[in-house]
Amino acid sequence: MFRAVWHPFDEKGPRMLSETRATLLARLGFAARGLVYLLIGWFAVDAALRGGETADNQGAIASLADKSFGPLLLALIAAGLAGYALWRLAEAAANPARSKPDAKNLFERGGLALSGLAHIVLAWVAAGFALHPRSGSDTSPNDERARDWTAWLLDQPFGPALVGAVAFGFFCGAVLQARKAWKGDFVAELHGDTPTPGYVCTAGRIGYGARALVFAVTGLFFAAAAWRARASEAGGMADALAALQDQPGGTWLLAATGIGLGLFGVFSLIEARYRRIRVKV
């Protein structure tokens, strides 16, 4: 009767506790990512309909800094993004899905590693705002940083080729996001007592499609910077969204993209609850 009760000092207790904590952090990370994308989508729709400013992920995080509940929420976001980053890096290193070690698998694991590193940066940004609250009125801080490190890359040997590699990475990311939007196979990562509702898959498809568009436009910025060897041509997500607004019918294109990014945030919140989390500790 008592053997069914788990005790933290059992032989497998520490490992089970570590896996539970890692799983909880990963789920908190999906929730944090969902909130960030909801904010990005909100800024995009507001920019399209009311002339506000677009924002990238760092800008969305910064917008919470001057709110009364900001420091606490930013601390939770930082913890969640850090947990998500560690989970992605663990997936890249340990290959918990047990995929075959072919070129496709190595490409996917490389993408997981890059995602992990990117979310470490975001976690650091959120932690910085949580510890040192300051005005969040500047909602696009990452675009200038993108131009700064693009300028640094261009000053290195084979600089344009390095920036071109960054552009290629964004194009690959766009293709992967578009593939997910087209196939809808991401719902296989969700679990539940009943089949995944169709509207959840639809929200995910639209969200991944919006991300594919933003990744592609960002890749074009870096491709132009590489071709012309000018760092001023580079830009981040906020610049990509602003560029959509400058196109014919840009108001509605930006609004639709913002809604798509918001739906990606909603889907991330669903993943926080139902995503299968593979953990190896």
* Mean pLDDT over each residue of the chain, to the nearest integer: 82
Look at residue 136 in the predicted model and tell me its pLDDT. 46
- Would you put residue 158 in left (φ > 0), alpha (ψ -120 to 50) or beta? left
Cα distances (angstroms) measured from residue 84 to each of 6, 77, 93, 133, 225: 27, 10, 14, 23, 31
Structure tokens, 110: 């490389």
Which residues have CB under 8 Å from 14's CB, separation 6+? 8
Per residue in 130-153, pLDDT (tens digit) is 887 664 444 445 667 778 888 888
Q: Specify whether the CB–CB gap between 110 and 92 falls below 8 A.
A: yes
Instruction: Report the alpha-carbon distance of residue 107 to residue 100 in Å, rounded.
Output: 12
Residue 6: predicted pLDDT:
35
CA distance 233 to 221: 6
Please answer whether residues 200 and 187 qualify as being in contact, where contact means their C-beta atoms are separated by less than 8 angstroms: yes
- Does residue 34 sit in helix, strand or coil? helix
pLDDT, one tens digit per residue, over 156-167 is 888 899 999 999
Please list the pLDDT of the chain residue by residue as tens digits (281 residues).
334 333 343 444 445 445 577 788 888 889 999 999 999 999 999 999 988 888 888 888 888 887 778 888 999 999 989 988 888 888 787 765 555 666 667 777 777 788 888 889 889 888 888 887 664 444 445 667 778 888 888 898 888 999 999 999 999 999 999 999 999 888 888 876 667 788 999 999 999 999 999 999 999 999 999 999 888 888 889 899 999 999 999 999 999 999 999 999 999 999 998 888 765 54
Q: d(Cα 28, Cα 269) in Å, to the nearest integer?
A: 9
Distance CA 33, CA 268 (A): 7
* Contact by Cβ (8 Å): 136, 69: no
Are 88 and 277 in contact, with CB atoms under 8 Å apart? Answer: no
Nearest to 33, CA basis, from 106, 123, 100: 123
With 0.75 as the threshold, say if the pTM is over it.
Answer: yes
Distance CA 274, CA 189 (A): 8
- The residues facing 275 across adjacent strands are 190
Whose tokens are 């995944």? That residue is 196
Between CA 124 and CA 135 the distance in angstroms is 17
| DSSP 8-state symbol, 102 | S
